[in-house]
Amino acid sequence: MGFASKLNIVVTGGAGFIGSHLCDRLIQQGHRVYCVDNLVTGTFSNVRPLLNHPDFEFIEHDIRDPLEIAGRIDRIYNLACPASPRHYQRDPIGTLHTCVIGAGHVIELAREKRARALQASTSEVYGDPDIHPQPETYFGNVNPVGPRACYDEGKRAAETVFFDCHHIYRIPIKVARIFNTYGPRMLENDGRIISNFVVQALKGEPITVYGDGSQTRSFCYIDDLLAGLQLLMESPPEIIGPFNLGNPEEQTVRQIADLIVAQTRSKSTIEYHPLPRDDPRRRRPAISRARDVLGWSPKISLDEGLRATINYFSLRLFTDERVRRRPDSGSHTRSRQRSNALSRPALAR
């Protein structure tokens, strides 16, 4: 994507999985990036390679508090929020406040700076869907008092905050409903399916399938998602959304397990565990709106994306193992302690 000028861009949640890849991409394109993160699920090491870049600034901040940044801001990507069920359910009120109050603070900043703001919403706004595949016109089927509600209802309300502020104050907004996205830099113990299964397969541990594995998801590789987010952000002001961004190739959880075992040539066996409450039975995005309006569709197959993800995790596991075995691994331990110390409210990793 060509840019006529250098933009000043805020990425909240910029030290997380999606956010850190977005920061990389924006810096590579020549923009100035302010990465705002409280490191609750993000890690300092995700953005460490960017820290010495003159156009990159890391701001440790919780978006539940008002957000102030000096100078011109042109774009704000609001990605701050834990995305894995394990993590967003650990502090449900915190998650709800991050979604709703955080969205309010992001919108305030956009209003003050006359900046464009993009909200990272989610397929979870459709809950356990009665309509398949899910188009943006579907209002969803969310249990408002279940364990996923803090995230699902929080994200629904965040969309409301964005749309109402757009209508009242004419703030330019964009809303992306992101479907399951995967790739390098997911946390090893993130709890999400792809990272869990890949790590389990590489270690030769049992693959933990929840329920009978017949529930479905549709997986989008990180690079495809970033292209969609950016196309949406840079689309003309009258294009707002919401837009589903995801890969419509649908798989059962059991198929994913088999695929990962085959790709890693693992000896892992399948181990069945109870299905978590309110786990959606099926999920697949209808993406004709994104295709027609933004000219976006995913390009990277599950096979290809999984290969890159497996390479990432095998490198990490292998390197960690070597570091653990080395007698003189002091400097590595110190740097890891430093990054942990920075993750103030860090979750158990």
Q: Which residues are catalytic?
A: 151
Q: Residue 324 CB, nearest distance to ligand UDP (Å)?
A: 24
215 binds ligand NAD (CB under 6 A): no
Minimum Å gap between C-beta 4 and ligand NAD is: 28
Q: For residues 171 and 76, what is the distance between their CA atoms, to the nearest angstrom? A: 12
Contact flag: residue 180 with ligand NAD (CB under 6 A): yes
171 CB contacts (<8 Å, ≥6 apart)? 107, 110, 111, 117, 165
Q: CA-CA distance, 40 to 345, in Å (whole number)? A: 6
C-alpha triplet 68, 74, 77: angle, nearest 5°: 75
Please tell me whether residue 125 binds ligand NAD under the rule CB under 6 A: no
The b-or-e profile of 93-107 (16+ CB within 10 A means b, else e) is ebbbbbbbbbbbbbb
Interacting stretch for ligand NAD, rule CB under 6 A, among 33-41, 67-75, 162-170, 249-257?
A: 33-41
* Contact flags string 35-74 toward ligand NAD, x per CB under 6 A: --xxxxxx-------------------xxx----------
Q: Report the nearest approach of ligand UDP to the CB of residue 250 (Å).
A: 12
Number of residues in contact with ligand NAD under rule CB under 6 A: 28
241 binds ligand NAD (CB under 6 A): no
Shortest CA distance to 41 belongs to which of 1, 94, 4?
Answer: 94
**Residue 102 binds to ligand NAD (criterion: CB under 6 A):** yes
Where do contacts with ligand UDP occur on this chain (CB under 6 A)? 84-85, 180, 192-193, 196, 208-210, 215, 217, 253, 276, 279
Q: Judged by CB, which is closer to ligand UDP: 10, or 207?
A: 207
The stretches of the chain forming alpha helices (DSSP H) are 17-28, 44-47, 85-88, 92-113, 149-169, 193-203, 222-233, 253-264, 288-289, 302-325, 330-342
80 is a contact residue toward ligand NAD (CB under 6 A): yes
* Least distance between ligand NAD and beta carbon 227 (Å): 15
322 burial level (CB within 10 Å; 0-12, 13-18, 19+): exposed
Q: Can you tell me the distance from the alpha carbon of 236 to that of 177, in angstroms, rounded to the nearest whole number?
A: 18
Residues that bind ligand NAD (CB under 6 A): 12-13, 15-19, 37-42, 62-64, 79-83, 98, 102, 120, 122, 178, 180-181
